[in-house]
Structure 1
């Protein structure tokens, strides 16, 4: 049972995860692989608007995508883009990355190898991953400017698209935990997390939305609470 308080807290965390950046022309869009083909669609939309001349799709496979995307996330994203009318010449793929840091690092290497001049990047991800991807990219590739983007949808629409409300909340909670603990591990820049977001996160953890939380070697939830 998901209570009214749970939904209120989820909306608070959902809103924080989204950066609210204003779209503007960038050198390239990097779309991070996942189970969600909507990420590829969002990248294609940027290309169709003339905001980027080139798309990079990055991602290998994971336990959650292996069956749905057996050829690899980046490959399936590319196939989707071509189906939607993007010319093959405007698409590069990076098919090794297995985490967010590798998505950015390997995409950077790919672009450098292709002699693409990059001063700004659209980061395209799932709606609840915008802030995590941005914070990671700023750490891994500090020389360029980043604009975050995702499919334009409400929390309710995203839940409907996934078909599992509890799983969505678990993913939102897990993504926020990483924003709290990864900076001290050197994986991303630190960002201010408002106290109301921390409170919402803690209540959701107490309500049992914990399947996507990171654990330490002793099986305890990794935590770094900042107020």
Structure 2
């Protein structure tokens, strides 16, 4: 299979394909991709939640790329799209997905907002890891995950982040695949089943050199027990 076909297998696996319904809150997780902010604003303006939280400081991909925290840039996009400023909450300290969840929850608690359901908005290839993190860190919450609605080709070809090309996107997707396998044992996420054809595509992409976003971890497949079992508990992800 060619690189594009292998990448699309990983892309499809990362999607949760949730049906988005009305919720108590929208939580938009920060990143380099401003299309995520546009998607969050769209959901709010369509009446799917009464309040929207933007969560994100500067992470591994935006440190040195942006001068302001992700949450501030995303909120400015939402306000320009028509979201009222008084319906926006900003969490600007988080640097990874686990902190996005925990610090957004703390912020809502300080505002005496205790949601029973949220719509989490993330990049398309981070839907599954976002879902798995929410279900570990905020177990009682009903979470629906969504992302900008586009194909892999459109996502790569129309990326507003000029510093992140198709190869870099594939590197990031492969890195997220590894984290889905590894993080349940570290206690950062719930376990997610990985079908054999997805794992095989992941391994082939690694052989082809897509290793830039991998965590240094020996014997990742063995540590995942052949993709089975949740492992230890506790911690936030990296």
Could you state the TM-score of these two structures normalised by the residue count of structure 2? 0.89
The aligned residue for residue 75 of structure 1 is 72
Which residue number in structure 1 is paired with residue 139 of structure 2? 142
Contact (CA 8 Å) 1:214, 1:221: kept in 2 or not?
no
Deviation at 1:67?
Answer: 4.4
Deviation at 1:62, TM superposition (A): 2.8
Separation of aligned partners in 1, 2:88 and 2:116: 18
| Alignment of 1:39 onto 2:36 | yes
Aligned match of 1:114: 111
What is the alpha-carbon distance in structure 2 between the residues aligned to residue 45 and residue 153 of structure 1?
14
The TM-score normalised by the length of structure 1 is 0.93
The 5 A counterparts of 1:25-174 are: 25-162=22-159, 164-174=165-175
Q: Tell me the residue number matched to 2:197.
A: 196
Does 93-102 or 157-166 show the bigger shift? Answer: 157-166
> C-alpha distance in 1, partners of 2:81/2:219?
42
5+ residue gaps in structure 2? Answer: 229-238
Structure 1 residue aligned with 2:232:
none
| 1:17-74 CA-partner distances (Å, limit 9, x unpaired) | 0000001001101111111111110100110110111110001113532444312101
Change in 2 beyond 3 A, CA 1:52/1:12: same
Give the Cα separation in 2 of the matches to 1:43 and 1:79: 12
CA distance in structure 2 between the aligned counterparts of 1:44 and 1:53, rounded to whole angstroms: 11
Q: How many residues are paired up?
A: 221
Which residue in the other structure is 2:209 paired with? 208
- Are 1:29 and 1:122, in contact at CA under 8 Å, matched by a contact in 2? yes
SS in 2 for 1:182: helix
Give structure 1 stretches of 5+ with no counterpart. none
Q: Is the 8 A contact 1:33 1:59 kept in 2?
A: yes
Flag the 1:63–1:179 CA change in 2: closer, same or farther, 3 A. Answer: closer
